[in-house]
Amino acid sequence: MLPRQLSRQLPRQLPRLTLLFALAVIAAASAFANGAFAEPRLTLKYAHCCPADQAFGIYAHHFADQVAKNSNGEIQVDVLDGGVMGSEQATAQKVQLGVVQMAGITSNNVAQLAPSLNVLVLPYLNNGVDDLTGKGGLLRAGSYRDELNRRVMAESGSLRVVGGYTNSFRSLFAKSKCISTLADLKGLKVRAPKNPVMTAMWKSWGVSTYPIAWGETYGAVAQGVVDAFDSPTDVILKMGFYEHIKYITEASYLPMAGVVIANNDWFAGLSKADQDVIMKSLDETDVFHAQWVKDVGAEVRKALKEQHGVTFCELKDADEWQKRARGAWPELYKLVGGGKDWVDLTMHYKETGKLK
């Protein structure tokens, strides 16, 4: 019996509460009739490092919602928040092996499996987040990301790049003082990801870093193993680092480049229709998330200042930081899959919007 027919048979004498309950039942019946609560025929797992309300989680859950919407509930994305699959490097390996179908991971932590991604880790390659996630950006759907994916597939054997995002440039965080000049780095114990390009970048600034996995960073800061590190500013608010980090210097040397990877064997085994739903949902999420990052930046800074007493500092010798880091590029080419040719092609695309 159709919901409209049911509604016509409702006794007019029903008390108000009973009527409201009946209408709710009718709405549920209508939703069921339209397939809103249909059992999914395909379920996939998507893993990432962080809380659901941090940038990585925002991307993951929006993607899950779009997949449900675009598939009319036939495809379900189970989001694994908070690094439950291990470190980012371990999670990338799990996607490579097909243990997890998809993940959102910082490019520097996938580069161990596909060194072409190290091009995204070169300091001062990008001038703003739009260079990555704006229209025509390196991580937006288009010819550059297609070429990046081709290289990643060849190097990893089973990883496909299907999306990309950022949560802004990396900022410098310290427990006890402002980092305003290169000289302020002296004596600091700085945590950095275990990535050779990033290690070389810090070396150009005179720093030997502590390569600590992201999931262990909070404990390392709390226990004094390290007293400084870098990452986009939102992690200080969303992951509770404000308990220990009291000084933030927003810099412009390296935006966090997150790539969404999928196991290629799994993806290739899907029907064309299911592939289209997933890619459409990813493209929509790329656009949504890029705008979201721009919108929340001021709110994050305000909350850190007013609610947690964090001081924002100014980098006074930014030109010197850039000069030293860019000066290290020649020795970094060998760490990038494709070497200088791939770096040059990337720069050419940034300047012209074309690969040739």
Can you give the three-state secondary structure of 249-294, one letter per residue? EEEEEEECCEEEEEEHHHHHCCCHHHHHHHHHHHHHHHHHHHHHHH
* pLDDT band at 96; cut points 50, 70, 90: very high
* pLDDT band at 27; cut points 50, 70, 90: very low
Residue 11 has pLDDT above 90, yes or no: no
Architecture of domain 169-255+297-352: 3-Layer(aba) Sandwich (3.40)
User: How far, in Å, CA of 221 to CA of 198, rounded?
Assistant: 19
| Per-residue pLDDT tens digits for 270-316 | 999 999 999 999 999 999 999 999 999 999 999 999 999 999 999 99
User: How far, in Å, CA of 169 to CA of 166, rounded?
Assistant: 8
Residue 265 has pLDDT above 90, yes or no: yes
Residue 338 has pLDDT above 80, yes or no: yes
User: How far, in Å, CA of 265 to CA of 152, rounded?
Assistant: 14
**Could you tell me the two tokens for 203?**
């070396």
**Could you tell me the two tokens for 309?**
């007493």
CA proximity to 258, closest of 170, 354, 337:
170
Q: What pLDDT is recorded for position 268?
A: 98
Site of tokens 């799994």: 266
| Per-residue pLDDT tens digits for 61-79 | 999 999 999 999 999 999 9
What is the 8-class DSSP label of residue 240? Answer: S
Q: What is the CATH number of domain 42-168+257-295?
A: 3.40.190.170
Q: What pLDDT is recorded for position 45?
A: 98
Pair 170, 202: CB distance under 8 Å: no
* pLDDT band at 9; cut points 50, 70, 90: very low
Site of tokens 């992201």: 214
CA proximity to 191, closest of 169, 170, 161:
170
Alpha-carbon torsion, ordered 174, 226, 232, 116, to 10 deg: 140
Helices (H) and strands (E) in the chain, counts: 15, 11
* pLDDT band at 100; cut points 50, 70, 90: very high
User: How far, in Å, CA of 38 to CA of 2, rounded?
Assistant: 17
> Which segments of the chain belong to CATH 3.40.190.170?
42-168+257-295, 169-255+297-352
CA 162 to chain centre: 12
| Per-residue pLDDT tens digits for 223-254 | 999 999 999 999 999 999 999 999 999 999 99
CB contact set of 169 (below 8 Å; sequence gap of 6+): 129, 232, 250, 251, 252, 253, 254, 255, 256
Q: What pLDDT is recorded for position 25?
A: 36
Residue 13 has pLDDT above 50, yes or no: no
31-37 average pLDDT score: 45
Q: What pLDDT is recorded for position 356?
A: 87
CA 267 to chain centre: 20
| Per-residue pLDDT tens digits for 176-205 | 999 999 999 999 999 999 999 999 999 999
Pair 22, 14: CB distance under 8 Å: yes
172 forms beta bridges with 230, 249
Pair 77, 46: CB distance under 8 Å: yes
91-113 average pLDDT score: 98
Tell me what percent of the residues of the chain surpass a pLDDT of 90.
Answer: 89
Q: What pLDDT is recorded for position 125?
A: 97
**Could you tell me the two tokens for 338?**
């494709």
What average pLDDT does the chain have? 91
Site of tokens 């890029």: 290
